[in-house]
Amino acid sequence: MSNPPLRLGVNVDHVATLRNARAGVNPDPVRAALVAIAAGADGITAHLREDRRHIRDDDMARLKAEISKPLNFEMAATEEMLKIALATRPHAVCLVPERREELTTEGGLDAAGQHNTLRPFIARLNDAGIRVSLFIAADPRQIEMAAKLRAPVIEIHTGAWCDAVVDGHTTKAEAEWKRIVAGAQAARSIGLEVHAGHGLDYVTAETIAALPDIVELNIGYYMMGEALFVGIAETVRAMRAAMDRGRSKLANSASRA
């Protein structure tokens, strides 16, 4: 039996971070997206933050106009962002929590705590034909709420697991991994499409690629760092190869079962 395909979404935010360091036009995140797609990326992710610290409004518009693969528009659940998303009409919107002072998206969205605000928000995106994903921790309460809110997709926040792996905190890494495995299974069993992302590198991407319930990984920061040394195309190929190695473990374990 063939493996369920695993898509690679490449996040180009940090090409814009570098560009904005000199407030000019280079390096261009759209050019990065085109190179990533030519090298095998299945989609492009970009986060338009409220403070516009990396991706800007015209980047999002240009990405939508110029790329041939699905655009995943990450954003906070605010009226301003909803207006931009509805005008941009990306393939997907991933709703993320956002705090101005954070370095990156530090935790998952509290769908359970904010269900009253999120419900009409998700409905408006659903009505516009934009696939909604909620970036949440692999927590049963959040997963169940995502389904109740009629979000068709969740993206599991892998940041805590990746940090624990990189820092060598084995016990914490194992606990986080178990949560991810159980969360992905639970989400799929109630009909949600499951994605994952945040902090992934070649090693953690290979590991998580072996989970059959996950169909998409969204990866940015590590890949753009690697790209400084070997280029974006080579980084995309190396990440794809790591994911394929992980996915083939799934086939091997299935054939042993």
Residue 133's identity, in one-letter code, is: S
Report the residue number, 43 or 212, with the smaller CB distance to ligand PXP: 43
The single residue among 121, 135, 161, 177 that binds ligand PXP, judged by CB under 6 A, is: 135
Report the residue number, 207 or 218, with the smaller CB distance to ligand PXP: 218
The single residue among 59, 98, 139, 155 that binds ligand PXP, judged by CB under 6 A, is: 155
The single residue among 10, 32, 94, 180 that binds ligand PXP, judged by CB under 6 A, is: 94
Dihedral (Cα; 236, 240, 246, 250), 10-degree rounding: 150
Q: Give the residue numbers annotated as catalytic, written as ranges.
A: 47, 74, 198
The single residue among 30, 36, 39, 47 that binds ligand PXP, judged by CB under 6 A, is: 47
Q: In whole angstroms, how close is the CB of 10 to ligand PXP at the nearest point?
A: 9
Q: In whole angstroms, how close is the CB of 45 to ligand PXP at the nearest point?
A: 6
Can residue 96 be called a binding residue for ligand PXP (CB under 6 A)? yes
Q: Which two tokens stand for residue 134?
A: 């909620």
Sole window of 112-120, 121-129, 163-171, 197-205 interacting with ligand PXP (rule: CB under 6 A): 197-205
Q: In whole angstroms, how close is the CB of 74 to ligand PXP at the nearest point?
A: 5
SS (H, E, C) the chain: CCCCCCEEEEECHHHHHHHHCCCCCCCCHHHHHHHHHHCCCCEEEEECCCCCCCCCHHHHHHHHHHCCCCEEEEECCCHHHHHHHHHHCCCEEEECCCCCCCCCCCCCCCCCCCHHHHHHHHHHHHHCCCEEEEEECCCHHHHHHHHHCCCCEEEEECHHHHHHHHHCCHHHHHHHHHHHHHHHHHHHHCCCEEEEECCCCHHHHHHHCCCCCEEEEEECHHHHHHHHHHCHHHHHHHHHHHHHHHHHHHHHHHHHC
Q: In whole angstroms, how close is the CB of 26 to ligand PXP at the nearest point?
A: 21
Can residue 198 be called a binding residue for ligand PXP (CB under 6 A)? yes
Can residue 200 be called a binding residue for ligand PXP (CB under 6 A)? yes
Can residue 49 be called a binding residue for ligand PXP (CB under 6 A)? no
Q: In whole angstroms, how close is the CB of 233 to ligand PXP at the nearest point?
A: 18
Report the residue number, 88 or 218, with the smaller CB distance to ligand PXP: 218
Sole window of 19-27, 140-148, 163-171, 217-225 interacting with ligand PXP (rule: CB under 6 A): 217-225
Residue 99's identity, in one-letter code, is: R
With 0-12 CB in 10 A as exposed, 13-18 as middle and 19+ as buried, what is 69? middle
The site for ligand PXP (CB under 6 A) is made up of 11, 13, 47, 74, 94, 96, 104-105, 135, 155, 197-200, 218-222
